[in-house]
Structures are given as structure tokens and as C-alpha cells.
Structure 1
Amino acid sequence: MQGANRSTVTEFILLGFSAFPRLQPLFFPLFLLMYLSTLLGNLLIMATVGLQRGLHTPMYLFLCTLSLSELLYTVAIIPRMLADLLAARHAIALPACACQMFFSFSFGFTHSFLLTVMGYDRYVAICHPLRYSALMGPRGCACLLGCSWAGGFLMGLVVTAAIFHLHFCGPNRIHHFACHVPPLLKLACGHGVQPVARAVGLVCIAALLGCCLLILLSYASILGTILRMPSAEGRRKAFSTCASHLTVVVVHYGFASVIYLKPRGPPALEGDTLMGITYTVLTPFLSPIIFSLRNKELKAAMKKTFLHKLYPEKR
């Protein structure tokens, strides 16, 4: 009966950029250009891997799938964010908020799992080259990709179900530009909020730290193997195959750690919004650039696929 007397929230108001009223006109073209560059970069990587038969290897299959997960992650958040920058009212219905959280967490954790799989791929290729064909054959690759996607969607389902199982009966203003967990937890009411907050935080941090630890172990073994190589050219070539992936891992987990491992303190709308932008807009924007510039084989394949078709006289 007590629950029946409480008003239930049916929509939320996203206040993510209300702290920067004068900068909102600048944010829209900036974020739009970064978003379009992110889409173009990931689509170019996917198209290049698909069209170039020489790139039909496990490493580039994982990279193509990584680009797909990143593209879907940005689609789940950024178009809505751009629309809110132009809209006078920033309301989002509760079901739409739950869908956004589910897909953003699903694709975000799939991205993390795929980065871990790519680290394992480089570990097998460098540390156990004779077993590479057996371990990273079609069945092995399909299993790793399937586990990454299944794990990502399981994480999205667990987090979303836990958050929206709570009751929202008070204020409906989310101090973020998306349906993010911490600001939503502040709006929930009832006795089960703190246990859910601790459980969700523990699951997310455990998953991220677990992926990060596996990648670190992979690269520790890779580094040991590279240092034992007698040829300087062999060491350079082995390390070059890992450089782009390692750079993206540092950027990805660097920004993720700022968001999930930051010390608790008084709420700060400006700080939460800026940190959210780094992980939602900046990281996806940088990833295809890093892979395109630091992977010589991919860069050459892109030129062969697209530049030579635009300028056939340069063949």
C-alpha cells in the first residue's frame, strides 16, 4: 500500500550539458564531426578487411568485429546526445532509457572483451606460432567472438535488469547526457538501492579489471618472447603487430578507469559530463585513427582499396 501511494517516474530529464549553456552551440558541430569521423573510420576498416583477401586472417577479423562493436556503441548514445543539444526539452521515456543503457553496456563490454581476445591472438601468434593455426582456426575464432558478444550482452542484461528493477519515485532529472548508472542510482528510492549499487559496481569493475589483467598477462609474455628474439628486425616486426592494439588498450582502459575507479565525492555535473564525453565520444573517435595510422598493413590495404579506385592513374 505504501508503494501504491508513491508517484512513479515515467520519464527522465537529461541535464548533461545544462552546465555549459554558452558552449552548447559549439558542442554540436564538434561532436557531430567527431561522430561522423568515427562512423567513417570504422566503416572504412570493416570495408577494407572485407574487400582485401590478404586481410582475411584472425587478427583482422577481430579488428573488423571490434570496429562493429564500437560503431554500434556510438549509435546507442551519440545520436540521442546530438538531438538533445538542439532540443529545448531533454526528456527520455523510461523504456527508452532502459534500452539505451542495455545496448550501451552490451556493446561497451563486448568491445572490452574483444580487446582481450585480440591480446590473446597476439600472444598465440608471437609466443606459440607453431600452434597458431590450430588454436586460431575458424572454430577457435568463432568461439572467441561468440563468447565476447554473449558476454557483452549478458553484462548489459544484468546491469540494466538490476538498475530498472529499482523503483523511481522522486526527482527525474539525470545529471548526465545519457542513461548512466551512477546518476540513475541517485534517483532510485527504497531500501535495496545500496546493495544494487554495490553489486553493479563490483560486477563492472571486476569485468574491466579482469579483461585488463588478461591483456597485461598476454603482453608480459609477448614482451618476454620479443626480448629473447635474436634478430632486431624480428623484434621490430613482432612489436609492430601489437603497437596499434596496445595503444587502443591504453586509451580505452585509461578513460574507463577514470570513470569507474574515480574516488567518490560530492556530485559535480561538469566533471561527470566531461568524463563521460571522453569515453563516449573521444575514445571511439581515436580508435580507428590509431589502427589506421599505426598498422602499416591496414593502411596500405586502405590505399589499395579506396585511393587507387579514386585515382586509377596512380596505379
Structure 2
Amino acid sequence: MQKYTKWKQRMENQTFVTEFILLGFPSLQRVHVLIFVGVLVIYILTVTGNVIIIATVVNDNTLHKPMYFFLGNLSFLGIIYVSATTPKFLASLLDGRKSITVAGCKAQGFSHFFLGSTELFLLTAMSFDRYIAIRNPLQYTTIMSGKLCAQLSFGSWMGGFLIVFVQTVLVFRLPFCGPNIINHFYCDVGPLLKLACTDTYYLERLIFTVATLVLFSTSFLTVISYFAIILTILRIPSTSGRQKAFSTCIAHLTVVTTLYGAVIFMYVRPRGHVSLSMNKVVSLLNTLVTPLLNPFIYTLRNKEVKTALKKSLTRNKIFEVKE
């Protein structure tokens, strides 16, 4: 009881921080203008590409299928995901203001990890969708009904929310009384925990355990789905049939491989094996490049989407000529 009383008195006497400083990439100060231009271009392309995908899926009746319903979800998530951290990072590069309020840091960190977790669940649902499409093509639309698609989508978003919300509440119950410099370009949970003026060992273990469970449970289900898909494809008698079946999965498999590789590198690896600077670079690439690649990968590898885009462009061109 006396220890608790002393700890409480010490906390009451502390001056708690009201904002954090996002250090970003101080070693690249001389090329901040180039970084700003590059990040801005990627951000604009990412948002534009994903908006085009969503608009195409919504407006073209031939794309009103389960696969494209999930693709629309993924594109919508990509827009919010890249917007959770990039605008603040761009602002810090432009005017040098690297401060962020505690509330802003909370919102940014929650949004980033909520959307990242949701993406893993969505990709798992999409792998299940591809399995059903190849395993039971004649019953595909019956099995993957609108109700089931909505349930899988809602479950993905809600699962990501609940997992990250609990951790966010625990993190921001911690006292932060200085220093207030976060060695990252956004409110990453690892550097943030180092600033807490209390022991965070058990919370770090909890976050690591939850992240590991989410990563490996979703990756396990995805691997099982693709193992079943490969077995099904191998049973297809014609070579052209096997190639067509596999081509419907290659885009999703490319996105899954890229995302899981980056996330496992950043969060599920032994400490001390990679420098924090390298971790920040990989995190920046994952935050910017993955949402950028998604629409291009799915567009370039999918004939239906390319056809729908061409139809949309043709309609707009005809409309302009008539006007």
C-alpha cells in the first residue's frame, strides 16, 4: 500500500506531455524536398487509382460479383490507410512542424493499425472467395451470396477494430511525462511505448502476442486456401483451363505476399537484428507502396476490370464528343 501511495504521489508531481515530436528521417534532411515530391506523387496516384477502382466496380454491372465487392472494400481501405499517416508526414516535410498532439497521435496510431489488421482479414476472406470460385464455379454465386459477402466484410472490419481498440486503450492509459520524441514518421506503437514513464514489459508482450496471432492465423488460413486451390487447379484436365484458373488468383497472391512480407519484417522478428532506420524505410514503403500497387496489380492482371475501365473511358469520350 505504501508503494502504491508513493507511486501515485510521484505521478501527481509529474508534468505530463501534451504533444509528441515525430522525428521522421533526420539523416535525410538535405533531400526533404525530393522526398516530399516523391511521397506526394505516390499519395495522389494511390488515392486516384483506388477511387477509379471503386467507381468502376460500382458503375459496371458486370463487376457486381463477390470478388469485386471485396476488391472495392480493399480499395476503400487503401485510401483511408494511406491517408492516416501520409498527410501529416507531408506537412512535416513541407513546413518542418513535426509536433502532434497526444489525441492526434492516438487517432493516427489507432487508424493505422486498425486498417492494417482489417486488411489482413479482408485478404483472408478474398482467398476463401477464390477457393470457392475455383472449387465450385457453378455454385459460386449461390455460396458466396450477398449476405455472406457482407458478413465476411463486416467481420473483417469489426475484427480489426476490436483487436486494435483494446490495445489502443491500454497504451493511452500509460503516463507520458517526457521525453516526447518519437523516432518515427508516424505514431508507431514500438517507439511510443519507450516514452512511457512506467514499466511496459507486459503490454509489449501482449501487443507482440496479439500481432503474432493475427498474422499467423490469417496467413495460415490463406495458405490453406491456396493449397486447396492449387490441388483443385491440378485436377483441371486442360492446360488452358488450369492457366485461366490460376490467373484469377495471381493478383491476390501477389498482394498477399507483398503485404505479409513487409508486416512480418516490421513486427514479428527478433529485436536488434534490423536497425530502426531500416524499419522506418520498410514501414514507409508498406504504408505508401502497397496501397499504390493494389489497384494496378488487380487491374493489369484482370481482364474484366480492364474491359470495364475501357468501357467507362469510351463512354466518357463519346459523351464529351456529343457535348
Which letter maps to 1:285? L
Which letter maps to 2:161? F
CA shift for structure 1 position 259? 0.7
CA shift for structure 1 position 295? 1.2
Distance 2:312 2:167 in 1: 41
- After superposing the two structures, state which structure 1 stretch, 256-265 or 180-189, moved more: 256-265
Q: Show the 5 A alignment for 1:173-188.
A: 173-188=181-196
Residues 176 and 272 in structure 1, CA contact (< 8 A), matched pair in contact too: no
Specify which of 20, 25, 30 is matched with residue 28 of structure 2.
20
Do residues 9 (structure 1) and 14 (structure 2) align?
Answer: no
Aligned-pair identity (%) = 44
Partner of 1:113: 121
Partner of 1:61: 69
CA shift for structure 1 position 266? 7.8
Partner of 1:150: 158
Partner of 1:97: 105
Distance 2:117 2:308 in 1: 29
CA shift for structure 1 position 165? 1.7
TM-superposition CA deviations, 1:65-97 (whole Å, max 9, x none) = 110011111111111111111122310000010
CA shift for structure 1 position 185? 1.1
The residue matched to 1:154 in structure 2 has which SS? helix
Specify which of 192, 200, 220 is matched with residue 207 of structure 2.
200
TM-score, normalized by length of structure 1?
0.95
Distance 2:157 2:316 in 1: 34
Specify which of 284, 289, 304 is matched with residue 291 of structure 2.
284
TM-score, normalized by length of structure 2?
0.93
Alpha carbons of structure 1 residues 310 and 155: separation in structure 2 relative to 1, 3 Å: farther
Partner of 2:47: 39
Partner of 1:211: 218
CA shift for structure 1 position 306? 2.0
Partner of 2:304: 297
Partner of 2:4: none
CA shift for structure 1 position 132? 2.5
Do residues 251 (structure 1) and 258 (structure 2) align?
Answer: yes
Distance 1:310 1:118 in 2: 34
Figure out how many residues of one structure are paired with residues of the other and give that number: 313
Gaps of 5+ in 2: 1-8
Do residues 270 (structure 1) and 277 (structure 2) align?
Answer: yes
Residues 19 and 270 in structure 1, CA contact (< 8 A), matched pair in contact too: no
CA shift for structure 1 position 287? 1.4
CA shift for structure 1 position 309? 2.1
Alpha carbons of structure 1 residues 313 and 3: separation in structure 2 relative to 1, 3 Å: closer
Which letter maps to 1:198? R
Distance 1:12 1:205 in 2: 28
CA shift for structure 1 position 270? 2.3
Distance 2:66 2:136 in 1: 15
Residues 114 and 148 in structure 1, CA contact (< 8 A), matched pair in contact too: yes
CA shift for structure 1 position 307? 4.5
TM-superposition CA deviations, 1:183-229 (whole Å, max 9, x none) = 001111213x0000110111112111111111110000000000011
Which letter maps to 2:85? I
Distance 1:169 1:87 in 2: 27
